[in-house]
Amino acid sequence: MQDFKTKYGPWALVAGASEGLGAAFAEALAKRGLNLILLARRREKLEALAAGLRVRFSVSIRCHALDLADQVQIKTFVAQLEPDVGLLVYNAAYAPIGYFEHIPVDELLKIVDVNIKAPLLLSKLLSTRMLQKQRGGIVLMSSLAGTQGSPKIATYAASKAFNTILAEGLWKELQRHGIDVVASCAGAIRTPGYQQAITTKEAPGTLHPLQVAEQTLNALGRGPTVVPGLTNKIARFLMGRLLPRKLAISIMDNNTKDLS
């Protein structure tokens, strides 16, 4: 824990921290002794989370309401940011469910803004500061949906593929500067959003958010990607390496057709 705090502290920034996996990352980082900067649109949820974490872990926490679809807001926020941020966790995501033909253009573009532009921008701005110290870390949340085309969440899946490839490139580029990068290619996570979207039983390998957060943070410095959960590791190997591409897409189609 102390080594983690020394390398990635004293402050961690968690984008998309109001509930679910983002809240789990905040808890896992607070347990490791890092102070937190929590970002999301709903400040009241951030403040409620922060109040409990301060009591349990005696860390400093700052909450900021921020629209991560707005690059101007992000640039302004980082320019005014004073704490020494040693770790970025980008967990925020926008994931409208529906077939491409039915999703409005504005929603498709918002997927790009939140899931691609924002993590790219925050990684660039915060890694520039980390380079000065020659240490730090970046965690980008990806998804097994980004391993292949995923009907009904096609644009979301494509955005997650972008984050995986970006993290892999940055992992190699930044490691010589003491900065660790990892993409967490998660499967289904028992978050409020996921539980609202499913209409049948949970997908095989569904994990609790804290399991995903802990396994992801433990993977920092060990390689460019991590797949939390044994079932999900097997699924990624099968879908990405063994099965024909058309079959992998058809399997995803069967898994996502009941999402709503």
Task: Flag whether pLDDT at 148 surpasses 80.
Answer: yes
Per-residue buried b or exposed e for 81-116, using 16+ beta carbons within 10 Å of the residue's own CB: beeebbbbbbbbbbbeeeeeeebeeeeeebbbbbbb
CA-CA distance, 84 to 77, in Å (whole number)? 14
| Residue 195 pLDDT class (50, 70, 90 cuts) | low
Token pair for residue 87? 């770790």
pLDDT of residue 49: 97
Nearest to 41 by CA among 60, 6, 17, 57: 17
Q: Rg of the chain over CA atoms, in angstroms?
A: 18
CA-CA distance, 20 to 200, in Å (whole number)? 20
Mean pLDDT of 12-37: 97
Sheet holding 225-226, edge to edge: 61-65, 35-40, 11-15, 85-90, 136-143, 179-186, 225-226
Per residue in 73-128, pLDDT tens?
999 999 999 999 999 999 999 999 999 999 999 999 999 999 999 999 999 999 99
pLDDT of residue 191: 77
CATH assignment of the domain containing 60: 3.40.50.720
Task: Flag whether pLDDT at 200 surpasses 80.
Answer: no
Task: Look up 246 and say whether it is catalytic.
Answer: no
Q: ∠189-259-202 over CA atoms, to 5°?
A: 40
Task: Flag whether pLDDT at 29 surpasses 90.
Answer: yes
Prior bond of 151 cis (ω within 30°): no
Task: Look up 94 and say whether it is catalytic.
Answer: no
Token pair for residue 62? 């700052």
pLDDT of residue 240: 86
Domain count, the chain: 1
Q: Express as a percent the part of the chain with pLDDT over 70.
A: 96
Average pLDDT value over all residues in the chain = 94
Per residue in 206-222, pLDDT tens?
899 999 999 999 999 99
Q: ∠203-207-211 over CA atoms, to 5°?
A: 165
Catalytic, out of 160, 194, 233, 246: 160
| Residue 257 pLDDT class (50, 70, 90 cuts) | confident
71-79 helix and 118-133 helix, angle to the nearest 10 degrees: 20
Mean pLDDT of 200-211: 84
pLDDT of residue 205: 80
154-174 helix and 118-133 helix, angle to the nearest 10 degrees: 10
Q: ∠204-212-9 over CA atoms, to 5°?
A: 170
pTM assigned to the model? 0.93
Task: Flag whether pLDDT at 168 surpasses 80.
Answer: yes
Catalytic, out of 133, 156, 194, 233: 156
Residue 171 contacts residue 119 (beta carbons within 8 Å): no
Task: Flag whether pLDDT at 199 surpasses 60.
Answer: no
Range of the domain at 93: 2-256
pLDDT of residue 87: 98
Mean pLDDT of 25-32: 98
pLDDT of residue 260: 77
Please list, in sequence order, all residues whose beta carbon lies within 8 angstroms of the beta carbon of residue 165, skipping any fewer than 6 positions away. Answer: none
